[in-house]
Amino acid sequence: MALHKFEPSSVHFAPSANEVWWEALKAVVKDVTRVHSHPNRGLLRGYALPDPHAFLKTTSRLDMYCACWLMIRPLWINLATHRQAGRAYPQPQDWKTFLTDLYLQMGLSLPSSSSVAVSTTHKKSSALGKRKVRQDRQDRSKRQKTGDERVEVDMFNVDISEFSSPSDVFWRDELLITKDSLTSSRYSVVSSVAREIVWELFNSNFALELLATDRVIFPRDHSELYSVLERDALVAECFPDGVVVGLNYPLTDTGLGAFDWRDRIQYVEAFRSLLSAWNGPVAGQLGRMSALVATSSESEVLAVERLAYRFYCQTFFDYFGRAPSIPHQRP
């Protein structure tokens, strides 16, 4: 179990999260015997989008991870938001391997601490990289035939054959890295941009994890269509503009991770309403609390947050056995 994911990161470019969320994470009872046995138990051992902690823990490969992720970001977000129910998400190591394979497939050399080493070994490492990707695919194909459900290609189910050469990398509709910079291994992602990318990974993973958890508690495959749409709509109300995960970087800091309580209030109320239908006495307690309105006070908002956030974090752990992603303040 990755215990560091229950604590704030000390990395300088890590986005900030509200203390009430960190208190909720720290309060989780991390007893694996609590984890329920259910068909979707392995669903969220992995992450819908790359694990943001992997970006925070690396130094030599941060730029590479950011570049590769941004290349496939539009394609993958579309796939993740329309992912087949019950299909397990890739685990952190799967994501790192996938992004590295993508980088090698484009004929690029892995990051090196020496620019001289990069230039002198570029062709050799690129050739080896392409050969490695081909061999990995052959191995995965063989394992797939044996019925191994943990095969990477099964988890991702995305065709990356079009990424055979470097391309320009964009972030927030602006050119971030040119393909020539990628080819020459002379590029870097500044801390402010890395912080924004990691922020999106935290918040988008949180959104899809909340949706997945609600779908486990209220299985959609045995429900009438109107009930399915109603539950999904309740989840969507917890996010700005009713969009669970979008492609556009927000212009304002709103939502469950916003710094100012006034920018959280309507989403905290939607969160309270959603969780009040879950199982257990805390859900009932949330249901008996007065609804938050525009005139509610900060103390009333915090009272709901302290109860709801702890309940969510513990419930998530009890279903999936790991720390949930939590929303962060927009950089």
Residue 279 clears pLDDT 50, i.e. is over it: yes
Q: What are the respective helix, strand and coil percentages of the chain, to the nearest 5?
A: 55, 0, 40
Quick one: pLDDT at residue 118? Answer: 34
> What span, in angstroms and rounded, lies between the C-alpha atoms of 71 and 305?
36
Q: Cβ contacts of residue 251 below 8 Å, gap of 6+?
A: none
Provide the pLDDT for residue 129: 46
Average pLDDT, the chain: 87
- d(CA 321, CA 209) in angstroms, rounded, equals 13
Q: Residue 143 above 70 pLDDT? A: no
What is the pLDDT confidence band of residue 121, given thresholds at 50, 70 and 90? very low
* Structure confidence at residue 44 (pLDDT): 80
What pLDDT is stored for residue 226 in this prediction?
A: 76
pLDDT digits (tens, 9 = 90+) for 182-208: 999 999 999 999 999 999 999 999 999
Q: Which of 52-66, 119-133, 312-326 has the weakest average pLDDT?
A: 119-133
Give the residue, 296 or 164, on which the prediction is more confident. Answer: 296
- Tens of pLDDT, residue by residue over 12-64, are 999 999 999 999 999 999 999 999 988 887 778 899 999 999 999 887 899 99
Residue 122 has what pLDDT? 38
Integer angstrom CA distances of residue 203 from 21, 52, 208, 243: 13, 10, 9, 12
Structure tokens belonging to residue 151: 């095969």
| Predicted pLDDT at 11 | 95
Question: What span, in angstroms and rounded, lies between the C-alpha atoms of 221 and 306?
Answer: 32
Q: What phi and psi, each to the nearest 5 degrees, are found at residue 263?
A: -85, 0
- Element housing 322 (H / E): none
pLDDT value of position 112: 63
- Rounded to an integer, what distance in angstroms lies between the CA atom of residue 254 and that of residue 2? 29
Sign of CA dihedral 134, 156, 3, 200: positive
pLDDT above 90: percentage of residues in the chain: 71
Residue-wise pLDDT tens digits, 220-232? 887 788 788 999 9
Of the ranges 8-22, 126-140, 179-193, 313-327, which one carries the lowest mean pLDDT score?
126-140
Kindly tell me the burial class for residue 9, based on how many C-beta atoms sit within 10 Å of its own C-beta (0-12, 13-18, 19 or more). middle
DSSP 153-222: HHHH----TT-SS---EEETTEEEE-HHHHHHT-----HHHHHHHHHHHHHHHHHHHHHHHHHHHS-GGG
Q: Residue 280, by phi and psi: left (phi above 0), alpha (psi -120 to 50) or beta?
A: left
What whole-number percentage of the chain has pLDDT above 70? 86
Give, as one character, the DSSP assignment of residue 9: -
pTM to 2 decimal places: 0.87
Provide mean pLDDT across the span 315-322: 95
Residue 305: HSE in the Cβ half-sphere, 13 Å Cα cutoff: 26
Q: Tell me what pLDDT residue 246 has.
A: 94
The pLDDT, as a whole number, for residue 114 is: 32
Round to whole Å and give the CA distance between 168 and 154: 28
